[in-house]
Structure 1
């Protein structure tokens, strides 16, 4: 598998591939993710590479890039800006900061197809992209709430963990969770509806940082002895298994007995192991490898002038202790 670089180094390499010679005959389809440090996006990279087996004979190549870390929102904006300057056939973006990405697209007014993958632009900016490829994020949030309700039917005191405050996909999940638990659309925070209350310290914003996510969880558990559950709208704490194991050590017996519940998005390998070890109660997984593949193929179709569906959902998988061995079809 190719080694991909971030930022200026990646774009310098891209400039060479788009230059003169044989490489000039290959049209670049750029997949820009929030951060190369997130194992979730490694799977989107794999989907991009799978697509290349079909794209390359047709004269296209899926090129995977992004900032070194998802915390560097400005770097992602700069990468998109630079790609538009260098010249590519299409771009798929997972916006870390949706308004900032929309701003650069409006400013540059690109003539090439722009799509979003994994995360979308805000509703008022969706006219800037030709399609969205990824999860029905609201439905993911709803399913997390449903998994929580199965285990705590009478409600409880809970804490939601989110990523970047401006990440539209994560915010959609949180909205789905709150609406499902409250029974009312448009719930901004749970304040006792149907027995559910978000503690004052939450939601937590991890900024997609596993170390920060684990520290925030630990601090919250320590400071709130009456907390009953976490809803992780992204699986950030579980991406660092050793740290996560230390965080939940004081409540591991409560998790195992169902007295404390943790439900999380995503079904990456460390999360599935945590599930099998009864360190988390349920997972609702996206399909990032398929997402990367579909994003690449959608870009190619648009570059060829073909029509595509404006929204392409890639599905969800629900996993718990009972079906951990089979829920991903393996």
Structure 2
């Protein structure tokens, strides 16, 4: 069912009867459930607005060169607009600038790009990631009653979205002197497998810890597998980020105590809406917050959480 917010966004633009604009949608990767939800939202907007959505991105979320090549390919082919989730907040600046020089508008989504929204690119459509990190930290503080040892598993250098989550998490934790972060400099990487390996390499620290925070789908899933592999699952207070079916099942089972949920379907939808509005001469807000919410076993069935989860 279409939410009221999405309905309003859709009604703001009337599809044209001329040849359909071609919108290139370029995610960070194409394997995680998060991106599949983004694609669904983008294609829904494309259908409603009468534009063609071309979905293409790197297979893995650590292939900067491939993502740069995809952007360059779409610029050369002369698409109408690009909606991009940059793998690196610096490395993708050049390709985005090249698009602008060819009069191809770019909307950045999910993860920030260095530059000024509304000037260097049309708009930035994303979760308030720093707030998401704070939500995760506040829940972990509550679960630990304000005291204990904590492990933070980061994602990857250069990923603006997760850097913001990590910063928001540490901002809150630093306000609680009873909590000691014993690991904050390890990265899980782009896949569940690499994150599981990273967690296993930290297993002695994890045994020592009382709580754990992971900053995206792959790090949360990888940590979950490592905890299960070492019979530590359920013995540590564990808060993660993102809500794949596997992670939601683990939450309901009690293996994870909290998940910060984004709204990837809404992100994909509004990314397309924003670039099409710009193409059709309508005003676009330079920053669009798609929201986030903490999901627990206690609130997972509430209307507010169901809306974010698309249930």
TM score, norm. by length of structure 2: 0.85
2:168 counterpart residue number: 176
Deviation at 1:324, TM superposition (A): 2.7
Structure 2 equivalent of residue 154 of structure 1: 146
**Cα 1:76–1:101 shift into 2, 3 Å:** same
CA contact (8 A) 1:161 1:204 kept: yes
Q: Offset at 1:237?
A: 4.1
2:93 aligns to what? 102
Q: Is the 8 A contact 1:161 1:234 kept in 2?
A: no
Structure 2 CA distance for aligned equivalents of residues 127 and 197 of structure 1: 41
User: 1:107 and 1:91, CA in 2 relative to 1: closer, same or farther beyond 3 A?
Assistant: closer
CA distance in 1, matches of 2:125, 2:288: 5
In structure 2, what is the equivalent of residue 31 of structure 1? 25
2:115 pairs with 1:115: no
**Which consecutive unaligned segments of at least 5 residues does structure 2 have?**
1-17
Helix, strand or coil at the partner of 2:92: helix
Deviation at 1:65, TM superposition (A): 1.2
1:244 deviates by: 5.1
Residue 61 (str. 1) matches residue 52 (str. 2): yes
Q: Deviations over 1:100-127 (max 9, x none)?
A: 0013223553422111111111357884
Question: Against the structure 1 CA distance between its residues 261 and 273, is the aligned structure 2 distance closer, same or farther, given a 3 Å change threshold?
Answer: same
Separation in 2, partners of 1:166, 1:266: 19
3-state secondary structure, aligned to 2:254: coil
Q: How far apart, in 2, do the equivalents of 1:155 and 1:284 lie?
A: 21
Indicate conservation of the 8 Å contact 2:118/2:285, yes or no. no
1:252 is aligned to 233
> Structure 1 299/128 Cα, relative in aligned 2: closer, same or farther at 3 Å?
same
Is the partner of 2:145 in helix, strand or coil? coil
2:90 is paired with a residue whose SS is helix
For 1:275 and 1:53, the matched residues in 2 are separated by 34
Structure 2 residue aligned with 1:291: 267
1:162-206 Cα distance to aligned partner (Å, 9 max, x none): 2221011110111111111213xxxxxxxxx62233225x33212
Gap change, CA 1:242 and 1:312, over 3 Å in 2: closer
**Contact kept in structure 2, 1:234 and 1:264, CA below 8 Å:** yes
Give TM-score scaled by structure 1 length: 0.81
Partner in structure 2 of residue 198 of structure 1: 181
| Separation in structure 1 between the aligned mates of residue 296 and residue 200 of structure 2, nearest angstrom | 23
Q: CA deviation at 1:242?
A: 8.4
Aligned position for 1:189: none
| Residues 1:310 and 2:286 are matched in the alignment | yes
**1:122-141 map, 5 Å:** 122=114, 127-141=119-133
Q: Secondary structure, in 3 states, of the residue corresponding to 1:199?
A: strand
Which range is displaced more, 117-126 or 276-285? Answer: 117-126
Provide Cα deviations, 1:183-234, integer angstroms capped at 9, x if missing partner. 3xxxxxxxxx62233225x332122211111121222123553212211111
- Contact 1:146–1:180, Cα closer than 8 Å, also in 2: yes
Q: Does the 8 Å contact 1:34/1:95 carry over to 2?
A: yes
Q: Is the 8 A contact 1:241 1:270 kept in 2?
A: no
Separation in structure 2 between the aligned mates of residue 145 and residue 115 of structure 1, nearest angstrom: 30
